[in-house]
């Protein structure tokens, strides 16, 4: 028997060998950060864009004119001097400027713009720094405008009453008034960063400016130690001399210490919370 055995041999297909080099991943293009000057410009525009912001800014001029007119109408002729106009204007400024500072910060949370702001500028510290600088600039400019209105009122009031024009506010006194109002504005800004709520910030400022001075005054009248040393702990007590006289070296030291307690430390806590909090 002649049997033949056939064996099937499988066909092996080999893949073609490519000699092309592997694809090289290109480095991602770096995006330049937004310039700080642009951040300043945007934050300044945001302070005027809303109706509340616009009217708050306009109220600086409006209330200055009202206070000046009231001084011309109701003040005795003997009191028609620049100091009287400056004092009358300083009262509404001590309320308006801190509210502007509070809303410049808390608007990111109350109006829910923080997500867009911190997405475009991830460095939250740069945004807060821009708001802080603008707060100081607006405060100084607002006081300059208000006192300019007061100076005009001094000229008009003296002319109407037929008395000599009295300029009894020196450059040093003017600078101290601006510093005192800037401290109040920075207190509002600090509360805004710390609380991040418009209502809480405004209530907190009125407690600081209206309630705490009464408590401190009651302590000073009953405790001689507080009457002698309270200015080292109470920012309001340390700020009052700015409106009256030239400060001594001790009073400047008291102002610096209390500013550190009431402004610097709460600001650091607020910045820590802002940098770590979730923005929705």
State pLDDT tens for residues 68-92: 999 889 888 888 888 888 888 888 8
Within 10 Å of residue 241's Cβ, how many Cβ atoms? 18
Domain boundaries, the chain: 36-268
d(CA 160, CA 221): 44
d(CA 73, CA 187): 33
Global pTM reads 0.83
Going by pLDDT thresholds of 50, 70 and 90, the confidence category of residue 12 is low
* Percent of the residues in the chain that have a pLDDT greater than 90, as a whole number: 35
Q: What angle separates helix 124-161 from helix 36-49, to the nearest 10 degrees?
A: 50
Going by pLDDT thresholds of 50, 70 and 90, the confidence category of residue 259 is very high
pLDDT of residue 1: 47
Instruction: State yes or no: pLDDT of 144 exceeds 70.
Output: yes
């Amino acid at each position: 028997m002649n049997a033949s055995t056939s064996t099937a041999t499988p066909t092996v297909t080999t893949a073609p060998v490519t000699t092309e080099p592997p694809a090289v991943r290109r480095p991602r293009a770096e995006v330049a950060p937004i310039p700080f000057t642009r951040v300043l410009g945007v934050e300044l525009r945001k302070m005027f864009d809303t109706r509340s912001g616009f009217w708050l800014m306009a109220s600086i001029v409006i209330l200055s004119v009202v206070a000046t007119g009231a001084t011309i109408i109701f003040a005795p002729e003997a009191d028609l001097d620049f100091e009287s106009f400056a004092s009358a204007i300083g009262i509404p400024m001590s309320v308006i400027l801190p509210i502007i500072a509070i809303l410049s910060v808390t608007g990111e949370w109350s109006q829910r713009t923080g997500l867009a702001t911190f997405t475009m500028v991830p460095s939250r510290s740069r945004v807060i720094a821009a708001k802080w600088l603008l707060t100081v600039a607006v405060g100084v400019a607002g006081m300059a405008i208000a006192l300019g209105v007061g100076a005009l009122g001094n000229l008009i009031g003296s002319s109407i009453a037929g008395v000599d024009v009295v300029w009894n506010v020196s450059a040093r006194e003017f600078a101290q008034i601006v510093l005192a109002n800037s401290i109040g504005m920075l207190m509002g800004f600090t509360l805004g960063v710390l609380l991040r709520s418009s209502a809480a910030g405004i209530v907190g400022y009125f407690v600081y400016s209206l309630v705490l001075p009464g408590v401190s005054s009651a302590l000073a009248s009953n405790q001689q130690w507080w009457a002698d040393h309270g200015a080292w702990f109470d920012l309001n007590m340390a700020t009052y001399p700015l409106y009256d006289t030239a400060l001594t070296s001790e009073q400047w030291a008291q102002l610096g210490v209390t500013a550190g307690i009431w402004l610097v430390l709460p600001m650091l806590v607020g910045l820590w919370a802002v940098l770590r909090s979730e923005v929705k």
